[in-house]
Amino acid sequence: MKKRNVLLKICSLILTISYFSGIFTATSAYAQEDILTITQNAGYQTDEVYKPKASIVIEAQTGQVLWEDNPDLKWNPASIAKLMSVYLVFEAIDQGKFTLDTTIKATDSDQAISQIYELSNNSIVSGVDYPVKDLLYATLVQSSNVATVMLANLVTANDEAKFIHMMNDKAKELGMTNSTFYNCSGAETGSFNGYYKPEGIDQNADNVTTARDLAILSYHLLKNYPDTVSYTSPTQITIMENTPYAEVLENHNYSLPGLAYGYEGADGLKTGSSPTGGFNYAATAKREDTRLIEIVLGVGNWEDQEGELQRHAFGNAIFDRAFATYEYKKLLSKGNNTVNQEEIILDQDFYGVIQRNTEPAFKLAADNVTMDTGLAQVSPMIKAPSVSFKYAKKLKALQNATLLKNGSKKNGLSTFFVNGLLIILGLLFAALSKLLKKEPAVTGSTKRFSTLLIIGILLILVGIGLSVYTVLVGPWI
């Protein structure tokens, strides 16, 4: 019998160890799975030579990080830098400096830049007026360097260096702690053949940023200027329509629905490539209430143009992982709720990011509801979701106290009214007693107080007495 019990205990121990070993092995395998493995498992043909140098995925409403790999590696973003220039253009429009319909008359320098073969451009003709709206399409769809320069010059009245300083100041303001800009378009200043030359700025320097910083920029761009996606989502668009200068622009974001790597819900943002930066990708996609932002940097190298397509494979794969794992949704409704066994009242609906098929873990602190997701914020300047609340019991007690206070105040006013009425009636009775007073029939007879006078005096005394009581003790009714 003892042997049997010992054997049972040994078997149980072996099973327990095996179980936890299996969990540990599975967890370790999951932890070691990298972006290359994820992309290959998603069915894309790729290999180590194209593996991105850095990547990140964040949720667009909360700024919470859902995936990251070397997010703080400093890198040349190439044309993704145009997103900062576009941010400053939208900001200037928001400030009333110009509108989408404002036109910019192209200069000889603008035309010359548009003809530089090595640069991505659209056609520009000197002397022609180009609307801001069309130049935004040219910048974000065609990745036109000349359109970006024209917009930057509009913002600063042709002060090229000032615009670069504005880019760097805005980066600091937004919390982009590892970014430095030397040009407005992503192309080295020296490649503009002298037609674009910000004074005092290094002509041969590349812009420097990180996946995290570009995610922060994209977060603020979509939050503050959500119409951005209307300029980044067209796969093809014609600008300068109904003029001799009409031009069809093609989008290089092949993850847009209908293109080679079409991804459901994708509607932006920007691609970028250069000899020193390889192939880069800033993207956003929305499914139901969940919008994600991702940055993929350093796919392949400039000599192998296959990297232009491969960046979309990696981007689509980590989008799939994030959408399958997380969702943004309403977690609590405005009004009465029970959280952590406490009855609370929310000022508004509470939305947040949560792992699918899990229950949220809420925290109540400092009159705010927050959620413990285990997810980091992409920037300390972007706070995690929270909603103010009141404890239902405290609110009810406060309401009762207010009601009692208001009731006491009301009763006090009523009491003083009655007290005053008694005094007035007493005075009235006294006056009537004098008015109705009769002279004595016999000379020398004793004067007597009339009944009305006695009643009046009593009413006055009672009124005065009750008023004193009300002041010293409180309402008597």
Instruction: Output the average pLDDT for the chain.
Output: 87
What's this model's pTM, rounded to 2 decimal places?
A: 0.78
Give mean pLDDT, residues 51-78: 97
40-325: which CATH architecture?
3-Layer(aba) Sandwich (3.40)
**Which residue of the set 55, 109, 120, 143 is catalytic?**
143
Contact at 8 Å (CB) between 63 and 146?
no
Residue 206 to residues 74, 85, 142, 186, 435, Cα–Cα distance (Å) = 11, 15, 21, 7, 108
Which residues lie closer than 8 Å to 364 by C-beta, 6 or more apart? 339, 340, 342, 344, 389
Which comes out higher in pLDDT, residue 347 or 184?
184
Domain ranges of the chain: 40-325, 329-391, 394-436+448-472
Overall average pLDDT of the 104-109 stretch = 98
Asked whether the predicted pLDDT for residue 271 surpasses 80, the reply is yes
Please report the pLDDT score of residue 425 as a whole number.
81
Report strand pairing: 278-287 vs 266-274: antiparallel
Note the pLDDT of residue 154: 98
Residue 16: its pLDDT value, please?
A: 39
Class of domain 329-391 (CATH, top level): mainly beta
What's the pLDDT score for residue 294? 98
Annotated catalytic residue, options 79, 85, 120, 379: 79
Place of tokens 């674009």: 196
pLDDT at 459: 77
Q: Find the mean pLDDT for residues 38-63.
A: 96
Taking the alpha carbons at both ends of the chain, their separation in whole angstroms is: 85
Of the candidates 51, 55, 82, 273, the residue annotated as catalytic is 82
Q: How confident is the model at residue 438 (pLDDT cuts 50, 70, 90)?
A: low
Classify residue 156 as exposed, middle or buried by CB count within 10 Å of its CB (0-12, 13-18, 19+): middle
- Is 143 considered catalytic here? yes
